[in-house]
Amino acid sequence: MPSPGGRGSGMPDVLVAGGCGFIGSHLVRRLLQRSDLARLVVVDNLWTGREGNLSDIADERLEIRVSDAETFSDSSKFDEILHLASPASPAWYMADPIRTIRANVLGGLNLLQLLKPGGRFCFTSTSEVYGDPLVSPQPEHYRGSVDCTGPRSSYDEGKRCVESMLFESRRVSGTNIRVARLFNVFGPYTRADDGRAISNFLNQALTTGVLTVYGDGLQTRSWGYVDDIVDALERYFWLDAIDYPGPLNIGNDREVSVLEVAEYICSIVPGCRIEFAAPVPQDPTNRRPDLSLARSVLPGWIARTGYEEGVTLTLEWFQTQRGQSLQDPLLKRPGTAALVGQDARAT
């Protein structure tokens, strides 16, 4: 991947806020492949991120600083800043909504002060800005169907506020910004207790064997495998040739119901079954990105990994994390042997 230049002075210093998190840690690995990088500072308060996500990296350019994004300071400023400092799982952001707002909004304001003049500020926003969408697929110009006082509002409005701050900073001061709106992302380096659908289902499959589908499971999402999503972010955030501040939808535009994903996991992990649980309040009924703009801004990029392949890769990763053998791991689950062969599925 070509490296950006044009920031004027030599090798860039880069800061990634949230770099120990799920997507952040993937981006850090990609950044360290850049030969032009002088220094890579990761700022993470380890709320949802884990230092272990980066612990296998030996690179003297990498510096991990345990700090909130909103209070982080440094003696020098940065050529490129990537703001990913926020929980993204509803279970986590709903557990501490004020802290979520603080991480996004105060974090964003503080980090902006650390940008060198002429530097680039990149932000991972979210499809949550579309709320429970009334149009499908959702193009970037769709303004959303949102509830600014609802249970998801800390995350949704936190992200919207940072978008606003960045676009106003660009308008008033000419700040160089790139705003990506990520649809659902899954894959390796997710926490086992993250709580989002695919990681939850896989960890349930590997432990209790009971997959909890909230509501009737007919709500849909567009499931983006992390490698595809990070491919897009790498191009969008790195490349100087791109002259588009955003917002830019990034995701996989194949729309699949939650129930279908759970059923698929049951079909590849013997002995699993589905249990339906109470619906989540204000759970969006559908989500699918319109990727027309992404195709023109990021020529050649495509989310090529189907959820089936992505789920398999993620399952293998979780198995490795749990120390299970890839050949016959499921028999290590208590009670699995008794379940194999039974038609235990509740669908």
Among 100, 153, 200, 203, binds ligand UDP (CB under 6 A): 200
Question: Which residues between 159 and 188 bind ligand UDP (CB under 6 A)?
Answer: 184
Nearest residue (CB) to ligand UDP, 43 versus 274: 274
String of DSSP letters for 8-28? SSSSPEEEEETTTSHHHHHHH
Could you confirm whether 93 is annotated as catalytic?
no
Annotated catalytic residue, options 93, 130, 142, 155: 155
SS3 of 79, please? Answer: strand
Nearest residue (CB) to ligand UDP, 45 versus 126: 126
Q: Check if the beta carbon of residue 242 is closer than 8 Å to that of residue 6.
A: no
Question: Which residues between 218 and 257 bind ligand UDP (CB under 6 A)?
Answer: 219, 221
- Confirm or reject binding of residue 286 to ligand UDP (CB under 6 A): no
Nearest residue (CB) to ligand UDP, 89 versus 175: 89
Report the residue number whose CB is nearest to ligand UDP: 196
CB of 28 to ligand UDP, least distance (A): 23
Q: Kindly provide the b/e burial profile for residues 106-136, where b requires at least 16 CB atoms within 10 angstroms of the residue's own CB.
A: ebbebbbebbbeebbbbbbbbbbbbbbbeee
Among 3, 67, 212, 312, binds ligand UDP (CB under 6 A): 212
Among 213, 226, 311, 330, binds ligand UDP (CB under 6 A): 213
- Confirm or reject binding of residue 274 to ligand UDP (CB under 6 A): no
For the record, the structure tokens of 149 come out as 């006082």
- Confirm or reject binding of residue 308 to ligand UDP (CB under 6 A): no
Q: Give 312's Cβ-side CA count (13 Å radius).
A: 6
Question: Could you check whether the bond before residue 137 is cis, i.e. omega within 30 degrees of 0?
Answer: yes
- Confirm or reject binding of residue 283 to ligand UDP (CB under 6 A): yes
- Confirm or reject binding of residue 45 to ligand UDP (CB under 6 A): no
Question: Which residues between 89 and 148 bind ligand UDP (CB under 6 A)?
Answer: 89-90
φ, ψ of residue 227 to 5 degrees: the values are -60, -40
- Confirm or reject binding of residue 288 to ligand UDP (CB under 6 A): no
Tell how strand 255-257 and strand 220-222 pair up.
antiparallel
CB of 252 to ligand UDP, least distance (A): 13
To 5 degrees, how large is the angle CA 148–CA 153–CA 154?
130
CB of 185 to ligand UDP, least distance (A): 9
For the record, the structure tokens of 183 come out as 């649809």
- Confirm or reject binding of residue 214 to ligand UDP (CB under 6 A): yes
CB of 152 to ligand UDP, least distance (A): 8
Among 197, 202, 230, 291, binds ligand UDP (CB under 6 A): 197
Ordered alpha helix ranges (H), the chain: 22-31, 90-95, 97-101, 107-113, 153-173, 197-206, 226-238, 258-268, 292-297, 307-321, 336-339
Nearest residue (CB) to ligand UDP, 90 versus 224: 90
Among 114, 258, 269, 315, binds ligand UDP (CB under 6 A): 258
Nearest residue (CB) to ligand UDP, 150 versus 245: 150
CB of 285 to ligand UDP, least distance (A): 8
- Kindly state the helix (H) or strand (E) to which residue 207 belongs, with its residue range: none
Residue type, 61: R
Burial-class residue 223 by CB neighbours within 10 Å (0-12, 13-18, 19+).
buried
Known catalytic residues?
155
* Binding positions for ligand UDP, rule: CB under 6 A: 89-90, 184, 196-197, 200, 212-214, 219, 221, 258, 280, 283
